[in-house]
Structure 1
Amino acid sequence: MADERNPRPKQYQNHELVLRNRQSLEVNGVLNVESFDAQEFVLATHFGFLAVRGENLHIKTLNLENGFVAIEGLILDIGYFDEGVTPSEKAKGFFSKLFR
């Protein structure tokens, strides 16, 4: 049964992040890769949008049929954001709070 925060059926809620030495990130439960470049990946997951920021980021493995993405590079930040907020707005809000 689904809960109020996430109305998806339980069998579709497998979502895991595995970060190794800030150099390799494996993500399960990925629905789509919304955007990516060497500094940021935005992944649509069963639990919302996931932003991965870093340096020299690249896709090691992409299998959307199984909902799996592996990213390599120097990973500096991982965070979720709401659908109505763009990644750049979220980053701006985070950095403006950080450098007050």
Structure 2
Amino acid sequence: MDHYYSQPMNNKDKPSPNHDIIMKSRKKIEITGVKHVESFDHEEFLLETVMGFLAIKGSHLKMQNLNVEQGIVVIEGKIFDISYLDDQYGENSKGFFSKLFK
């Protein structure tokens, strides 16, 4: 009978981070799998996640918590819209941002 032993994973075997969105009463949102915060102000956040770019729109938005190592962002305020900006905008960043910030 073969025996299998559990070995610790090294960094190259590490699975890609999960991407989850947890919203509480449209007042607080926790997002995991965040790679980079592109831009933010009190009306809109643009985040690069492991599943693509994510735009969060609202009013009185503020970043409550940012954990870069774990890829977690917590935003508070009144949330109106959460949307992914798919690859249909292409690789051209000028076109991507010009459509985003009309």
Normalization by structure 2: what TM-score?
Answer: 0.74
Q: Say yes or no: does 1:89 pair with 2:93.
A: no
Q: Which runs of 5+ in 2 are unaligned?
A: 1-12
SS for the counterpart of 2:15 is: helix
Q: Residue 51 of structure 1 corresponds to which residue in structure 2?
A: 55
Checking the alignment, whether the CA contact within 8 Å between 1:81 and 1:87 is kept in structure 2 is no
Aligned-residue CA RMSD (Å): 2.1
Q: How many residues align?
A: 84
Q: Which runs of 5+ in 1 are unaligned?
A: 1-8, 93-100
> What is the aligned partner in structure 2 of residue 78 from structure 1?
82
1:82: Cα distance to partner?
2.6
Report the structure number with the largest CA radius of gyration: 2
Change (3 A) 1:87 1:10: farther
Question: What is the TM-score when the length of structure 1 is the normalising length?
Answer: 0.75
Partner of 1:34: 38
Runs of 4+ in 1 over 4 A off after TM superposition: none
The letter for the 2-side match of 1:80 is: Y
Deviation, structure 1 residue 70 = 0.1
What fraction of aligned residue pairs are identical, expressed as a percent? Answer: 45
